[in-house]
Amino acid sequence: MAVRVNPELIDDLQHFGAKDAVKCYQCGNCSAACSHSDDPYVFPRKSMRYLQMGLEKPLRSALDPWLCYYCGKCSEQCPRGAEPGETMMGVRRWLTSEYDFTGISRLLYRSWSSELMAILVVAALTGVGFLSYGYLGGGGKLSVYDGPGAFLPPHAIHVFDWTMGIILALLLSINCIRMWHFTMRNEHATPVRPALYVRYLLLLPVHFFTQKRFRHCENKTPWTNHLILMLSYLTMLTLIMVFLKQMQEGPQVNWYAHTFGYLSAMGLVGTTIFAIHGRIKKDAAYHRHSHESDWMFLGLLLFVSVTGIVQHILHRAGLPMAANITYVVHLMGVVPMLALEVPFSKWSHLAYRPLAIYFAQLQQAAQAEGALPFGGPAEAHPAA
Amino acid sequence: MKSTTETTIAKGQAQTTRIGVFLLRVNGTTPPGVDYAMLAEYAAKLPGVKTVRTIAVSAAMEPEKLATDIRKAKLNTIVLAAEHPGFYKPAFARALALAGGDGGQVRLASFAERGDGGGAGRAREVLTSAVRGTPNAPAVAPSPSAFNTATLVIGGGVAGIQAALEIAESGHKVYLVERTGTIGGRMAMFDKTFPTLDCAACILTPKMVAVSQNPNIELLVLSEVQEVSGNIGQFTVKVLKHATRVDAAACVACGDCARYCPVTTASEFDMGIATRKGIFIPFPQAVPNTYMIDPAYCNWVQSDGKKCGACAKKCSKGAIHLDAKDETVEFAVGNIIVATGYDALDAHRVERYGYGTYPNVLNSLEFERLTNASGPTGGKIVMKSKKLNKKTKQEEWVFAPDGEKPKAVAIIHCVGSRDKNYNSYCSRVCCMYSLKFAHLVREKLPEAKCYEYYIDMRAFGKGYEEFHERIREEGVYLVRGRTATVAERDGQLYIHGEDTLDEHLITLPVDMVLLSVGLQPSQGTAELAEKLCIPRDDDGWFRELNYNSEPNSTMRQGIYVAGVCQGPKDIPDTVAQASAAAAHALRSIVGATAHATAAQQKTVEIAGTPARP
């Protein structure tokens, strides 16, 4: 079948951060240097090739980009300065926007001003919304932080966060289904029996919580940081979604709940500052290039973590009004971060990565089942 | 009102020429007979000149700093004035380009080449011509009777040999200066040449012998050019001649001295894979065919004459004079041909290939020596074997003729070439010599498998593509992909890379890895460029006057380049360029002598100025 070529693909990808792919001369050093690259998923050279040739469809159906964790070894050794690691990062951003059916992701990634505007608009709506609720539907008094008559009572926040959670989960699920459709239902992919889907289902939680593939990178620091950040984030999310009442109680410290809060706050702030510092200093290949969306993500994360900590401290310090104001400001960071990043941007990779590992395993299992009875080779990589 | 005028001027500036005159102070000195203060005053009045500055320059100039000054003064043309401003042109051209200008708008006012003997008036004329951009005939050529017909050739490789022979055989004197103990250069190390697979020595040694027998050639080995002054027709050259400590006329190269010499060290000619003594001859066909003493490895020299001296005692000809001293010789020449060649890239720098760690990872010149019949194994391709060093009582990996034959050999192309981490240029010869290596492996070891890892196969020359086809047919496996790593597990080497045509990763067990390292300017090129006041390009090679039309000439009249020192090239191109450089030198010599016989001194006319005698 003829292959459809999109000559503008490589230009398009420039907006997603894959700026140097055009320099690649296809020597394959990157693929051989990578500790994740292995048959049948040999990367990143092949993705570079797709980009240069404008092979949009194979690139969209590729799982390779999600199997790369950007340790930067390929970029360090690249003889051309084609930055294969950053190219893979750019392709992941592009894939996120391809999976997203709304087109919002594409808009946010391609234009930093749109992303900034979106953040500001959502933040403003959030601020106005919560202040109105506080005065009209909530406690009404900005000077009451917890207990009866609280300005923003936990039960009301729960209604809001669960509603938002369900909406975001729905959006992300649709995008995940699109990812499955692109990667598992294209003409080159091997059909997979439903039973296989069940057999390997455990891979999803395992890789989600441990990120153990990341550990195979030669440099272990990024994996440790990433794991701490992710676990801190999940802990905090659980505390807020389930134990908000206990978190908000005070002014004394509830050690059984707050211990977890303190630990995850430390984890969030520490890893975020580490990442920001690394990106400013450009201390490693994976920190050499920063897309605008990286800065906004890190900025929001740090803002949310710090305001969260400050409101907690203010409350314990007996300043409920200041605590309430900081609380609203904190929410003005949390809502845009979740609403924009979870289905449309950076946070979505928490879902796409384990899914990609799962799908890759399914493909390999299906190919092994379908291998020729005379010991012939299994079909090559589906995306090829 | 005033502001309007200023705006008009500012707008007009985009089109007008804004010239900056830089009077260069090289090593803190100004050109003899030129008064910079007076010249600056004069230059400031010339049309278009916006700034005149006297600045100190050095070989390591920072174009970024210059660019800031140029941008501040809004200059779009630069005039460099000095004895030999050409050496600093690249730095200023880059600075001008960085400042947003056209890097081509750097003009030279060379007092040495265009104004010699004219005094202050002539210096003003030279500068005026440069500022106006009008051609200024070189006034430097001495009167034909004073034109020295001798030529200095720096470097005794195949390029230097060829150029020296061309000139000497047309009846003119040549000084051939060579840093090592023999002429022959890199080509003398080779076993075969591509694509003809001729024996390199069979082509080169007759030429080497011709050099030694030509009465017009004065050969100075173990010698280095220290100082060059003067101009075309009248260069004065100072050469440091290291003492060989062996009388070349008396030595018959019997080798008795070396037999009794107690000191052993690695042989430079054999790239360290064989040994030599403290008194040695680089290789049996060396020219001059005499032994020499390496003072760093001579007990007598190191102990100030207190120890050893065995060689002098044993020499039946009495040719060894251990107390001989280095000397400086000075002579005059009319032309200089630079043919200093290249060094192989240090493969240690590419750490992931394990050169220096794994004994059987060799660089290309080491393999040339290994496969050469005059090499340590008599041309047998074997692996290194562990041998006990009786002196140090330690086991060492050495090549021995009875070593084990490799069953699989991998050749890795582009080591340190086409790589922005090392040299970003293509070294041009590696593809072809790698194919030659593959042929030699398959020819000498038909049982062995041979894999070539290439990125792009550059078979660009006459007969090269056919050679490539031939090697393919000889059963060599050509893998398109760069090797990422060479590793050793349980004494077995493995190379790991992607076959980019098949899109699979392959890890191959091999017994020997040959690294096709790239070429880089030979050690000392930068210093020589400074001594000769000729610029180099960004990659370190000598810069030719014009890439297309004057690939042999440099910025200085009477100084020519030949061979790899101007840029990587193969043997045929090197020889052709050497002959061309000789033609340049001969042209000026013949021109001078023809004039002399006509007994008519020509005056040099300069546009807009009266003719001078």
Residue of B nearest to A32 (CA): B497
The domain of B294 spans 256-314
- What domains lie within chain A, and their CATH numbers? 9-99 (1.10.1060.10), 104-361 (no CATH)
Residue B319 lies in a domain: no
Question: Which portions of chain B are predicted below pLDDT 50?
Answer: 1-14, 599-613
The shortest C-alpha distance from B422 to chain A (Å) reads 8
B71 SS3 class: helix
Which residues in chain A are contacts of B455 at CB distance < 8 A?
A: 25-27
If 0-12 CB within 10 Å is exposed, 13-18 middle and 19+ buried, where does residue B324 land? middle
Contact yes or no for A96/A343 (Cβ under 8 A) = no
For B265-321, what is the HEC assignment? EECCCCCCCCEEECEECCCCCCCCCCCEECHHHCHHHHCCCCCCCHHHHHCCCCCEC
Q: Which residues contact B225 (CB under 8 A, 6 or more apart)?
A: B152, B154, B177, B237, B238, B239, B528, B531
Locate B342 and state its tokens. Answer: 């290249």
H or E stretch covering B361: strand B361-363
Q: Let me know whether B453 and B511 are in one domain.
A: yes
Read off the DSSP letter of residue B403. P
Among candidate residues A141, A160, A174, A208, the one with its CA nearest the CA of residue A334: A160
**Number of compact structural domains in chain B:** 4
Among candidate residues B312, B306, B270, the one with its CA nearest the CA of residue B293: B312
Of the candidates A39, A77, A380, the beta carbon closest to that of B484 is on: A77
Residue of A nearest to B483 (CA): A29
Name the β-bridge partners of B484.
none
To the nearest 10°, the Cα dihedral for B127, B132, B137, B141? 10
Read off the DSSP letter of residue B111. H
Among candidate residues B141, B353, B321, B162, the one with its CA nearest the CA of residue B245: B321
pLDDT at residue A278 in the model: 93
Which residues in chain A are contacts of B499 at CB distance < 8 A?
A: 28
Residue B40 lies in a domain: yes
B611 SS3 class: strand
Contact yes or no for B404/B397 (Cβ under 8 A) = no
Instruction: Verify whether the Cβ–Cβ distance A42 to B420 is below 8 Å.
Output: no
Q: Which residues contact B273 (CB under 8 A, 6 or more apart)?
A: B267, B362, B366, B369, B370, B375, B376, B398, B399
Q: Which residues contact B50 (CB under 8 A, 6 or more apart)?
A: B18, B19, B20, B73, B74, B75
For residue B65, the domain's CATH number is 3.40.50
Residue B603 lies in a domain: no
Q: Let me know whether B293 and B404 are in one domain.
A: no
Q: CA-CA distance, A91 to A79, in Å (whole number)?
A: 21
* Side-chain-facing half-sphere of A5: CA atoms under 13 Å: 9
Single-letter amino acid, residue B195: P
Distances, alpha carbon A147 to alpha carbons A151, A310, B406, in Å: 9, 19, 82
Q: Let me know whether B474 and B348 are in one domain.
A: yes
Contact yes or no for B539/B417 (Cβ under 8 A) = no
Instruction: Verify whether the Cβ–Cβ distance A25 to B455 is below 8 Å.
Output: yes
* Side-chain-facing half-sphere of A364: CA atoms under 13 Å: 12
**How are beta strands B275-277 and B264-266 bridged, if at all?**
antiparallel
Q: CA-CA distance, B450 to A101, in Å (whole number)?
A: 52
| DSSP secondary structure of B21-40 | EEEEEETTB--TT--HHHHH
Return the ∠ at Cα A137 (arms to A132 and A141), rounded to 5°.
75
Residue B611 lies in a domain: no
Q: CA-CA distance, B244 to B326, in Å (whole number)?
A: 8
Among candidate residues B481, B402, B336, the one with its CA nearest the CA of residue A28: B481
The shortest C-alpha distance from A84 to chain B (Å) reads 14
Which residues in chain B are contacts of A28 at CB distance < 8 A?
A: 480-482, 484, 497-500
Residue of A nearest to B422 (CA): A79
Of the candidates B420, B496, B504, the beta carbon closest to that of A80 is on: B420
Among candidate residues B79, B70, B82, the one with its CA nearest the CA of residue B132: B79
Which residues in chain A are contacts of B498 at CB distance < 8 A?
A: 28-29, 31-32, 42, 45
Q: Let me know whether B126 and B162 are in one domain.
A: no
Contact yes or no for B505/B498 (Cβ under 8 A) = yes
Q: Let me know whether B421 and B381 are in one domain.
A: yes
Instruction: Verify whether the Cβ–Cβ distance A32 to B484 is below 8 Å.
Output: yes
Q: CA-CA distance, A102 to A81, in Å (whole number)?
A: 35
Locate B608 and state its tokens. Answer: 């807009």
Q: Let me know whether B516 and B529 are in one domain.
A: no
Single-letter amino acid, residue A121: V
Among candidate residues B219, B188, B181, the one with its CA nearest the CA of residue B202: B188
Q: Which of B472, B500, B520 is the last residue of a domain?
A: B520
Which residues in chain A are contacts of B505 at CB distance < 8 A?
A: 31-32, 37-39, 42
Of the candidates A27, A46, A79, the beta carbon closest to that of B503 is on: A46
pLDDT at residue B38 in the model: 87
Among candidate residues A41, A65, A71, A44, the one with its CA nearest the CA of residue A218: A71
Q: Let me know whether B431 and B535 are in one domain.
A: no
Instruction: Verify whether the Cβ–Cβ distance B497 to A38 is below 8 Å.
Output: no
Residue B181 lies in a domain: yes
Q: Let me know whether B513 and B378 are in one domain.
A: yes
Q: Which residues contact A364 (CB under 8 A, 6 or more apart)?
A: A40
Q: Which of B520, B545, B570 is the last residue of a domain?
A: B520
Helices (H), B474-547: 525-532
Q: Let me know whether B405 and B543 are in one domain.
A: no
Of the candidates B420, B482, B503, the beta carbon closest to that of A27 is on: B482
Q: CA-CA distance, A286 to B142, in Å (whole number)?
A: 62
Of the candidates A32, A37, A79, the beta carbon closest to that of B419 is on: A79
Q: CA-CA distance, B362 to A317, in Å (whole number)?
A: 71
Locate A21 and state its tokens. Answer: 């792919």
Q: Let me know whether B279 and B207 are in one domain.
A: no
Give me the total of CB pairs closer than 8 Å, taking one residue from chain A and one from chain B. 64
Single-letter amino acid, residue B239: V
Among candidate residues B193, B241, B266, B93, the one with its CA nearest the CA of residue B572: B193
Q: Let me know whether B540 and B462 are in one domain.
A: no
Residue B589 lies in a domain: yes
Among candidate residues B241, B248, B249, the one with its CA nearest the CA of residue B325: B241
Return the ∠ at Cα B269 (arms to B264 and B274), rounded to 5°.
45
For residue B420, the domain's CATH number is 3.50.50.60
Long-range contacts of A186-190 (CB under 8 A, 24+ apart): A186/A57, A186/A61, A186/A382, A186/A383, A187/A1, A188/A58, A188/A61, A188/A382, A188/A383, A188/A384, A189/A61, A189/A363, A189/A382, A189/A383, A190/A363, A190/A366, A190/A367, A190/A370, A190/A379, A190/A382
Residue B11 lies in a domain: no
Residue of A nearest to B418 (CA): A79
Q: CA-CA distance, B299 to B308, in Å (whole number)?
A: 6
Which residues in chain A are contacts of B419 at CB distance < 8 A?
A: 79-80
H or E stretch covering B492: strand B492-499
Instruction: Verify whether the Cβ–Cβ distance A32 to B497 is below 8 Å.
Output: yes
Phi, psi for B246 (deg, rounded to 5): -130, 130
Among candidate residues A96, A18, A98, A2, the one with its CA nearest the CA of residue A52: A18
Instruction: Verify whether the Cβ–Cβ distance B503 to A26 is below 8 Å.
Output: no
Q: Give the model confidence (pLDDT) of B17-76 as tens digits.
A: 889 999 998 888 888 778 888 889 988 988 889 999 888 888 778 888 889 888 988 898
Q: Let me know whether B331 and B348 are in one domain.
A: no
Single-letter amino acid, residue B34: V
The shortest C-alpha distance from A96 to chain B (Å) reads 25
Residue B567 lies in a domain: yes
Question: Which portions of chain A are predicted below pLDDT 70?
Answer: 1, 371-384
Instruction: Verify whether the Cβ–Cβ distance B505 to A45 is below 8 Å.
Output: no
Helices (H), B315-371: 364-371
Return the ∠ at Cα B520 (arms to B514 and B523), rounded to 5°.
115
Instruction: Verify whether the Cβ–Cβ distance A27 to B421 is below 8 Å.
Output: no
The shortest C-alpha distance from A31 to chain B (Å) reads 6
Q: CA-CA distance, A248 to A242, in Å (whole number)?
A: 12
Contact yes or no for B451/B181 (Cβ under 8 A) = no
Contact yes or no for A181/A359 (Cβ under 8 A) = no
Q: CA-CA distance, B313 to A215, in Å (whole number)?
A: 69
